[in-house]
Chain A
């Protein structure tokens, strides 16, 4: 057991934290969000220059070959900065799906553009899209909602039947309605009417979609942690500096206890993010599925608690668009809903049998 960062990981953390601290305050973020795509191409380039867009891909794929912990470090910093660039859809979701399902040739064709940041890709995670054979090729029909980054992606990874398919966004028969999301980032609703896909653009299946969603949950856990810690820091700072009745409001025991309860939840979120990072290497599919369900439940609940009380403890200013805490509120709420909300993850974990069986401990041995 060892739960400390290595020296290399600490260096990565320092450089990402510095980039976010220097380039991602609330005003800068506002500037990025009014760009045509809803995010900053220049910032995205900075991420690529720092190697972040290559980070989780193996060295054979041309990436940095770093793992779950490094990804968590980036996610945590992005959560603190409320980064709106499409790292989750392109690098984490689509990137993982292609890495997991693609043949070496398909990966060599698709991944380089994603790793340099020039291609934005997106993964449909929840769809009612069907695939049927058409000679040697395939035809896709159906709709998908809230495809993260789907408005700006030039490459879409679409699950249909047992397989994943790759289509370009300019393909005939694809309609895409893009929009901004509460909490930052963008998404799209897609409609596919007889979209033709050549056989060579069919990736294998083998649960790659599920692996990609797990990677997405791990990312969200890291991001949620960064946002929660930042929201708690803001709140504690406010309790120490905001004066009423001639005293800092933080001298009030009810507020101290609420802040302590927030700390407990942040530490649970930290544990969830670390578990998510380390679970990526787990080979047992069932252990992974149950683990990621639990992780999503905990960050969903903790995130909601932190979001609500961070605003509450800020008083009136907490509900203002101008104040950073309201942005954390919205992002944490969104994280709780995306990639399977708390209720659906609880149901999923129950269906998987949880972690402890009904049988006695000795029988379980």
Chain B
């Protein structure tokens, strides 16, 4: 047994760190340090910077324009981004849609979509959830009926993160309302958001920010060549998408960044530092859990149900860190400030304007991507046989 990274892996970590330090725009970096959300242009610029280095799509194989990272390299790469902190490659593009197109897309679809997806020439939104289909995703009702070379799509999608930045949306639609099981009548469709009949409305979240949206589809005519995989087999594609890319799901590097901020604000306060240490102890051991699961991935590429453990514990610790950061920031954190407040590019002070909003919006981390309750159900069933 050996926990150590190889010399090559350590060298790779240094390369990534140096690349981020030398190439990340200082304004974008400052925003990330302070917990603000970068603008669309900043995120696009960073994605293209990564792409020019061949790193924009960490989980894609070399055969499809990816860097062909090993699971360990992927982990190191994401960990460095999280700790820097720097924006991750846009997950809708890179972790969700890209692998689906690689796995299920036709050569023509791969040719059409993969390169623009990597370069963020197309920004993707995820069109899965509906008002009546959250954890029970297969209950979705958005319908698509075939008319010649088009699907005519109508329905109401909700919780589209950053869809106001997006050009296209990958969407689950019901193509066979008569199917014997609700999972069997679903198809995976790509929708150009500029098509007539598409309306995007903002949902303002409890942090008073505009991050998510709802998307209304009213008789939208989608060409049939935008179907991914077979008609009515979209659930298989969905399961593939959801089981994909669990690397870095614990977001340990992000929690470390919060811990750094807590320690800067704590100014030696012993009681805060004790609470921080309690968190750090668990985080350190979660890193080992993460490495164990990575080590398992070297042997088998199958989805590992133990990644639910990473999600549960990772979110628990990140939420606890954000709570501690709020506590150490004190009552001044209640002053309503927004991400567009003037930026200081030096390290003179800690801007705490984002602390309360981020504490609030981080509640969503135990809800999206399979809520904590869903994760516990998965563990009870798959690992304990309950």
Binding site for B on A (CB under 8 A): 1-6, 9, 69, 236, 239-240, 250, 253, 255-257, 259-261, 263-264, 267-268, 270-272, 274-275, 277-278, 291, 293-295, 297-298, 301, 345-347, 349-350, 354-362, 365
Chain B residues whose CB sits within 8 angstroms of the CB of A298 once the complex forms: 281-282, 285
Cα distance, A236 to B384, chains bound together (Å): 7
Cα distance, A317 to B312, chains bound together (Å): 30
A354 touches B276 (CB 8 A): yes
A354 touches B1 (CB 8 A): no
B284 touches A355 (CB 8 A): yes
A346 touches B278 (CB 8 A): yes
- Known contacts A275-B3, A350-B273, A350-B276; A240 and B281 CB within 8 A of each other: no
A358 touches B309 (CB 8 A): no
B1 touches A277 (CB 8 A): yes
Chain B residues whose CB sits within 8 angstroms of the CB of A301 once the complex forms: 282
A361 touches B84 (CB 8 A): yes
Which of A9, A270, A358, A359 neighbours the largest number of chain B CB atoms within 10 Å of its CB? A358
> Within B251-285, which residues are at the interface with A (CB < 8 Å)?
256-257, 259-260, 263-264, 266, 270, 273-274, 276-278, 280-285
Chain A residues whose CB sits within 8 angstroms of the CB of B177 once the complex forms: none
A259 touches B260 (CB 8 A): no
- Known contacts A350-B270, A354-B277; A257 and B385 CB within 8 A of each other: no
Cα distance, A69 to B2, chains bound together (Å): 10
- Using CB atoms, name the residue of chain A closest to B83: A361
Cα distance, A345 to B278, chains bound together (Å): 9
Consensus secondary structure, chain A interface: helix
- Using CB atoms, name the residue of chain B closest to A262: B384
Shortest CB-to-CB span from B88 to chain A, Å, is 15
Chain A residues whose CB sits within 8 angstroms of the CB of B270 once the complex forms: 350
Cα distance, A255 to B384, chains bound together (Å): 12
B294 touches A1 (CB 8 A): yes
- A346-B278, A347-B274, A354-B280 known; 20 new pairs, CB 8 Å cut-off, are A1-B2, A1-B72, A3-B295, A6-B1, A256-B380, A257-B376, A257-B380, A259-B386, A260-B384, A263-B379, A264-B309, A270-B292, A294-B282, A294-B285, A295-B285, A297-B282, A356-B263, A357-B260, A358-B260, A361-B83
Shortest CB-to-CB span from B46 to chain A, Å, is 16
Q: Does B377 contact A (CB under 8 A)?
A: yes
Shortest CB-to-CB span from B1 to chain A, Å, is 5
B281 touches A346 (CB 8 A): yes
Cα distance, A267 to B257, chains bound together (Å): 24
20 pairs from A and B in contact (CB 8 Å cutoff): A1-B295, A3-B1, A6-B1, A240-B386, A255-B386, A256-B384, A256-B386, A257-B373, A260-B383, A263-B384, A264-B379, A271-B285, A271-B292, A277-B1, A294-B285, A349-B280, A354-B259, A354-B277, A357-B263, A365-B21
Q: Does B49 contact A (CB under 8 A)?
A: no
Cα distance, A357 to B304, chains bound together (Å): 32
Shortest CB-to-CB span from B328 to chain A, Å, is 12
- Known contacts A260-B380, A274-B1, A294-B281; A360 and B291 CB within 8 A of each other: no
- Known contacts A297-B282, A350-B277; A268 and B260 CB within 8 A of each other: no
B291 touches A356 (CB 8 A): no
Q: Does B289 contact A (CB under 8 A)?
A: yes
Which of A4, A9, A350 neighbours the largest number of chain B CB atoms within 10 Å of its CB? A350
Chain B residues whose CB sits within 8 angstroms of the CB of A253 once the complex forms: 377
Shortest CB-to-CB span from B186 to chain A, Å, is 26
A1 touches B5 (CB 8 A): yes
Q: Does B17 contact A (CB under 8 A)?
A: yes
Shortest CB-to-CB span from A49 to chain B, Å, is 27
B260 touches A256 (CB 8 A): no
Which 8 interchain pairs have the tightest Cβ spacing? A358-B263, A271-B288, A350-B277, A294-B281, A256-B380, A260-B376, A297-B281, A260-B379
A274 touches B288 (CB 8 A): yes
Q: Does B286 contact A (CB under 8 A)?
A: yes
Consensus secondary structure, chain B interface: helix
Chain A residues whose CB sits within 8 angstroms of the CB of B273 once the complex forms: 350, 354
Binding site for A on B (CB under 8 A): 1-6, 14, 17, 21, 33, 72, 83-85, 256-257, 259-260, 263-264, 266, 270, 273-274, 276-278, 280-286, 288-289, 291-292, 294-295, 306, 309, 312-313, 347, 373, 375-377, 379-381, 383-386
Chain A residues whose CB sits within 8 angstroms of the CB of B309 once the complex forms: 263-264, 267
Partner of B288, one of A259, A272, A293, A361: A272
Chain A residues whose CB sits within 8 angstroms of the CB of B286 once the complex forms: 268, 271
Cα distance, A132 to B292, chains bound together (Å): 50
B376 touches A256 (CB 8 A): yes
- Using CB atoms, name the residue of chain B closest to A267: B309
Chain A residues whose CB sits within 8 angstroms of the CB of B379 once the complex forms: 260, 263-264
- Using CB atoms, name the residue of chain A closest to B266: A358
Partner of A268, one of B84, B85, B313: B313
Chain A residues whose CB sits within 8 angstroms of the CB of B1 once the complex forms: 2-6, 9, 69, 274, 277-278
- Known contacts A257-B373, A349-B281; A236 and B264 CB within 8 A of each other: no
Chain B residues whose CB sits within 8 angstroms of the CB of A278 once the complex forms: 1-3
- Using CB atoms, name the residue of chain B closest to A68: B1
A346 touches B277 (CB 8 A): yes
Chain A residues whose CB sits within 8 angstroms of the CB of B347 once the complex forms: 360
Which of B277, B281, B312, B380 neighbours the largest number of chain A CB atoms within 10 Å of its CB? B281
Chain A residues whose CB sits within 8 angstroms of the CB of B276 once the complex forms: 350, 354
- Using CB atoms, name the residue of chain B closest to A298: B285
- Known contacts A4-B1, A297-B278; A268 and B294 CB within 8 A of each other: no
Cα distance, A298 to B282, chains bound together (Å): 6
Shortest CB-to-CB span from B195 to chain A, Å, is 42
Chain A residues whose CB sits within 8 angstroms of the CB of B256 once the complex forms: 356, 361
A275 touches B278 (CB 8 A): no
Chain B residues whose CB sits within 8 angstroms of the CB of A69 once the complex forms: 1
Which of A9, A267, A357 neighbours the largest number of chain B CB atoms within 10 Å of its CB? A267
- Known contacts A5-B1, A267-B289, A350-B273; A293 and B386 CB within 8 A of each other: no
Cα distance, A6 to B1, chains bound together (Å): 8
